[in-house]
Structure 1
Amino acid sequence: MSDDLRHMAHALRLGRRGMGQCWPNPAVGCVIVKEGRVVGRGWTAPGGRPHAEPQALAMAGEAARGATAYVTLEPCAHTGKTPPCTEALRKAGIARVVAPLADSDPRVSGKGFAYLRSHGIEVTTGILAAEAARDHAGFFLKVERGRPWVTLKLANSFDGRIATATGESQWITGPEARRAVHGLRAAHDAVMVGAGTARADDPALTVRGWGQVRQPVRVVASRLIDVPLMSRLASTARDEPVWMIHGREAAAMTRKAWASCGARLLPCDVSGGRLDPEALLSVLGGQGLTRVFCEGGGQLAASLLAADMVDELVGFTAGLALGAEGRPGVGAMGVDRLSEAPRFVLEETTRVGEDVMHRWIRPRV
């Protein structure tokens, strides 16, 4: 592996530490190398600031002069709440910047590279571009299409059931799989469920067992907000954010009651008697979310899949069978032919405790 590939892979690993922690900004990593030695490194801080580059430059100090900066996305060239990273790189005396690809944000796209080159800084692009594009896919979707990346998670029995006929579901999978789910929650900006899951499971939807992390926004998609006020979500809405995505016909008293608990109420268009999935994700994208982790239930999963709004599937399969009377993980989709069913490409299969985790990605077109 060449030095450029090795250092960019290092920067990408650092950037992933910010996933779920820095929205609405991208999770960027930066490594500064001088004479073959890493002298500074950083990644986007929780809340999105400071950016990766100034953190790495602060660590490098004077050693940054004449060094190479490996950054996982084109450095920003506009002034927001902080000065541009391109300016920070120039002032620090960086001689070369290696970045895999351009930022699709029109405030930055191409301008960062142009600024660096105009000030005599060598720019190299294309290093591990596919890997970087995958890491930043949620940010790019928000910028280009106004919606976040959607990961749909299902924990099933071997025969594809999420509960028995009586609704018992805790626990189909083992403790190692449940811990892995908390890690996946931490890597997303929000955790989303439908009203049925919120009623049946009374979930907390928080990250537990992974140390101090920025908790994901807890999103409930419920046309009529038919979720009990005597629930863990309602009682903790002032501690960690709860967003209720609802239809405009939801009762005013219900909206007022949830708002008084501290929840944020976000109206959404309805189609066919249900929240429109495309409109739902547009609402979330408009609030700055880049990565959403959907944990069901079956009807919400079905609507997202049918609308081709799921980008990644994560399944945890346990070695037990519940039979046809068990509850399926995905509701009715009206699929009559195999050609109509959404297909995904297998990315990974891993043993997690006594269960199997498998990840699937929507085919790239």
Structure 2
Amino acid sequence: MMLPMCVMPRCIRISGKPGILKNLSRVFQKNMTNNTPEVMMWPALQAAQRQRGQTGKNPNVGAALWRHGRLVDVVATGDGGRPHAESQLNILPGDVLAVTLEPCAHEGETPACARLVADARPSKVYVGCLDPDPRTSGHGLEIMKEAGISVQAGICEHKARHVMAGFLTRMIHQRPHVRLKLAMTRDGRSALADGRSQWITGFEARQHGHLLRAEADAIMVGAATFIQDQPTLTCRLGLSGRDPEIFVLSGREEISSLPKNVQILGTSGGQQDLSQILRQLAQEGIGNLLVESGGRLAASLLQAELVDELYCYQSDLLLGANARSALGALKDQELLLPKGMIVKERRQLGQDQLTRYVVER
């Protein structure tokens, strides 16, 4: 679903980043009486998507403000989690607010957003999904309802949960939302027998992979992959400040030296407790984790049911049985996808094909 061009704002305003999305259509000048809650929510979802991986421990909330049927402002949580989206809006009585996550009800470094909205007296507030934080869950809605505001939750909830998956997974499951990225040939190989792999996929697929990096708080790779490939793991899309943290999962291999921006996870020389490692990352505020690994770590994560999304980039190359497999052995595997996993999307990226799998829980 795309936002109709007649209601798209000139830009999404993110604190410290004026004009993030430029050259969009003019805001429709006439009153629009047929705007549905879903249409009103859509620019807020776009803003939240734009800030995925940029807001630290706080959720990447998007908010859209409508006045007399016209979209007047679109904002998102600022880098590092401040300021909150709702606090950036000049809400007037009678306005309609669409926000991807229930406004917070607790006060900390900043006032509670639910109280700010209640004091501003918009006529309606549309909410994408409830905040799982027990300090807010349901309380934010009650504060606004008690102020006489019409509040409706669950608007575009599935999409809202997708764009804020890092925060929601960390709060609900105490681990990051894990995206696993695999690049392979048509026969399922990731490299020649000697480890050479540049390039398995083409330019368009690699650019899409950089977009995943831009949306990640951190990237995790296995020690063998790090030693063999010496990957830079940066986002090469020309987006300032989009390089995620890098973690290397310790293994049997000895890592002689590490760049300053790379950290080691786990204990050396033994089997890793992946669930514990992910909990550790969540405690450090990592919500969106991209895993770019070899076949062994990829299989271990799938086997442990710790993968939320799998991005499989497949080229037309054929390397044969002597080449390295993109995915290690899965124990007790049947002729089925891993538990709960479905194919969500297939698309062409230049000469390559992307298949995106998601786990529905």
* TM-score normalized by the length of structure 2: 0.86
Q: Deviations over 1:113-163 (max 9, x none)?
A: 011111222211121112212223332221122101111100100001000
Identify the residue that residue 35 of structure 1 maps to in structure 2: 68
Q: Is structure 2 residue 123 aligned with structure 1 residue 95?
A: yes
Q: Is structure 2 residue 85 aligned with structure 1 residue 65?
A: no
Residue 283 of structure 1 deviates from its aligned partner by: 1.0
Question: Which protein is richer in helix relative to its size?
Answer: 1
Task: State how far apart, in whole Å, the 2-side matches of 1:246 and 1:156 are.
Answer: 27
Identify the residue that residue 254 of structure 1 maps to in structure 2: none
Letter in 1 for 2:145: R
7, 16, 25: which is aligned to 2:58? 25
Given the superposition, is the C-alpha separation of residues 290 and 164 from structure 1 closer, same or farther in structure 2, using an over 3 Å criterion? Answer: same
307, 312, 319: which is aligned to 1:315? 312
Q: Deviations over 1:206-248 (max 9, x none)?
A: 111232134211111114672231xxxx33x2xxx4331121x
Task: State how far apart, in whole Å, the 2-side matches of 1:86 and 1:314 are.
Answer: 37
Residue 70 of structure 1 deviates from its aligned partner by: 0.3
Stretch moving more, 138-147 or 185-194: 138-147
Q: Is structure 2 residue 276 aligned with structure 1 residue 276?
A: no
137, 150, 154: which is aligned to 2:165? 137
* Structure 2 runs not aligned, ≥5 long: 1-33
Residue 320 of structure 1 deviates from its aligned partner by: 0.8
8 Å Cα contact 1:183-1:210 kept in structure 2? no
Identify the residue that residue 180 of structure 2 maps to in structure 1: 152
Residue 92 of structure 1 deviates from its aligned partner by: 3.1
Task: State how far apart, in whole Å, the 2-side matches of 1:342 and 1:90 are.
Answer: 43
1:245-264 pair list within 5 angstroms: 245-247=265-267, 250=268
8 Å Cα contact 1:70-1:97 kept in structure 2? yes
Q: Is structure 2 residue 356 aligned with structure 1 residue 328?
A: no
8 Å Cα contact 1:335-1:341 kept in structure 2? no
Residue 340 of structure 1 deviates from its aligned partner by: 8.7
Letter in 1 for 2:57: P
Stretch moving more, 127-136 or 37-46: 127-136
Identify the residue that residue 192 of structure 2 maps to in structure 1: 164
| Percent identity (aligned) | 39
Stretch moving more, 278-287 or 211-220: 211-220
* Structure 1 runs not aligned, ≥5 long: 251-269
8 Å Cα contact 1:163-1:328 kept in structure 2? yes
Letter in 2 for 1:22: T
Residue 34 of structure 1 deviates from its aligned partner by: 0.8
* TM-score normalized by the length of structure 1: 0.85
Given the superposition, is the C-alpha separation of residues 345 and 309 from structure 1 closer, same or farther in structure 2, using an over 3 Å criterion? Answer: same
Greater relative contact order (Cα < 8 A, sep 6+): 1
RMSD: 1.9
Residue 65 of structure 1 deviates from its aligned partner by: 3.0
Given the superposition, is the C-alpha separation of residues 213 and 340 from structure 1 closer, same or farther in structure 2, using an over 3 Å criterion? Answer: closer
Identify the residue that residue 112 of structure 2 maps to in structure 1: 84
Given the superposition, is the C-alpha separation of residues 225 and 99 from structure 1 closer, same or farther in structure 2, using an over 3 Å criterion? Answer: farther
Identify the residue that residue 233 of structure 2 maps to in structure 1: 205
8 Å Cα contact 1:148-1:291 kept in structure 2? yes
